[in-house]
Amino acid sequence: MTAQPHPDTPLTREDCLALDAGDPLAGRRQLFHVPDGVIYLDGNSLGCLPLAAVEHVRRTLETEWGEGLIRSWTQAGWIDKPRRLGDRIGGLIGAAPGQVVVADSTSVNLFKVLTAALRLRPGRDVIVSEAGNFPTDLYIAEGVAELLGGYERRLVPEGSMDVAALIDERVAVVMLTHVNYVTAEMHDMAAVTRAAHDAGALVIWDLAHSAGALPVDLDGIDADFAVGCTYKYLNAGPGGPAYLYVAARLQDQARQPLTGWLGHARPFAFTTGYEPAPGIDRFICGTPPLLAYAALEGALDAFDGVDLAVLRAKSQSLTDLFIRLVEQECGEHGLALAGPRDRALRGSHVSWRHPEGYAIMQALIARGVIGDFRAPDALRFGFTPLYLSHADVWDAVAVLRDVLDNRLWDDPAYQRRAKVT
């Protein structure tokens, strides 16, 4: 990317095209199906369809299942997919092989790693998280605390990022989402992990809004556990299978309670007693949904050869540009930036608060600019560096300006039913 023009000069669409001309990732867009007439700023909820996913799913469906049938468990390598795809995701989150498996949903994986972590810290009774964490993380912590009894959920209040202040010797686990799902503000993973370890606690990182948009270095920061979904920036499709990371040094001590047969040391010996598999495999539970894995496989192909530093730079370029253009073009309409202005602290989405946020988002969607709304008042826009251009950002802001200038959000014709992520 070339540098953005001087901040005192109003930007033009030509400036955006110039940025695209210097974009080393521009060619990746052709690996995706981006619908005509749509500027898709919701890849942080559900990424666009990678064309390779179509081919992988077709092969798994028609050839591996249709022709190979049960033989495909070995002949098509189905039995190895949780580990093999886990290692590929590991390459995007700084995890050496053998520490990531693809399995279940993020929520189920949170349950596994949280119970495993708590059992590694007997005598401690506090789970630290933050009120602004994504709800499922908070709900799983509540469910685990209620099930096991005697645990307290201690939450950083909304608006604060000061986790370290809550960590003391009662804390068993610190459980955080790296990039906040509304504001995109990022925790300093290394610093929080260090603070937790200094107090004898373990850390669980939720990488839902990180993986595929920016580099993460789990091994480098001495992480303990992590989870994430694949349907956001990893583009694996609706309800794509989730993953989890357990640091190699913890795997053989860690016990998770979803003791399904595929986490057994010898699943095909059909014994009556459970014996956890060595290593990361014990975090697998039931039979994996292989059609979903096939889509993930195609989705990961789109990352082959991508330099994550370049990916991050483009993501920052897009979000910087979006903030600047919204303020330049829509400055008088009372949109309040909900997250950090410092690109170093920001993930790959940008939210603006507005009292009519819901109606404005419906009008935008009706005009083909797809973002999403997060209660109570946030318009959220995600920027997937693999398939978005700077010109897309310009065009989206032009529509936003039109909606705001002409109060289209007040027009019944633009009201649509709420969508969900």
Nearest distance, CB of residue 416 and its own copies, angstroms: 9
Q: In whole angstroms, what separates CA 405 from the centre of its chain? A: 33
Q: Does 4 bind its own copies (CB under 8 A)?
A: no
Site for its own copies (CB under 8 A): which residue of 15, 16, 45, 254? Answer: 45
Nearest distance, CB of residue 331 and its own copies, angstroms: 28
264: β partners: 276
Residues in contact with its own copies, counted by CB under 8 A, come to a total of 93
Strand-pair category, 225-228 with 49-50: unpaired
Nearer to its own copies, 61 or 336 (CB): 61
Residues marked as catalytic: 134, 206, 231-232, 380
Nearer to its own copies, 2 or 75 (CB): 75
Nearest distance, CB of residue 244 and its own copies, angstroms: 12
Quote the CA–CA distance of 253 and 248 in Å, as a whole number: 10
Q: Does 93 bind its own copies (CB under 8 A)?
A: no
Question: In 120-247, where does DSSP find H-type helix?
Answer: 135-148, 189-198
State both tokens at 371: 């973002």
Nearest distance, CB of residue 145 and its own copies, angstroms: 10
Quote the CA–CA distance of 213 and 228 in Å, as a whole number: 13
Q: Does 48 bind its own copies (CB under 8 A)?
A: yes
261 touches 267 (CB < 8 A): yes
Mask 155-174, x = binds its own copies (CB under 8 A)? x-------------------
Nearer to its own copies, 296 or 313 (CB): 296
Nearest distance, CB of residue 411 and its own copies, angstroms: 19
Q: Does 65 bind its own copies (CB under 8 A)?
A: yes
DSSP string, 164-191: GGG--TTEEEEEEESB-TTT-BBP-HHH
State both tokens at 155: 């939450």
Quote the CA–CA distance of 209 and 380 in Å, as a whole number: 13
In the region spanning residues 289 to 318, those forming contacts with its own copies, defined by CB under 8 A, are 289-293, 295
Q: Does 26 bind its own copies (CB under 8 A)?
A: no
Burial of 222 (0-12, 13-18, 19+ CB in 10 A): middle
246: β partners: 225
Site for its own copies (CB under 8 A): which residue of 10, 220, 238, 278? Answer: 238
Site for its own copies (CB under 8 A): which residue of 104, 206, 224, 297? Answer: 104
Q: Which long-range contacts (CB under 8 A, 24 or more apart) does 75-80 make?
A: 78/288, 78/290
In the region spanning residues 388 to 407, those forming contacts with its own copies, defined by CB under 8 A, are none
In the region spanning residues 243 to 282, those forming contacts with its own copies, defined by CB under 8 A, are 255, 257-262, 264, 267-274
Q: Does 29 bind its own copies (CB under 8 A)?
A: no
Q: Does 417 bind its own copies (CB under 8 A)?
A: yes
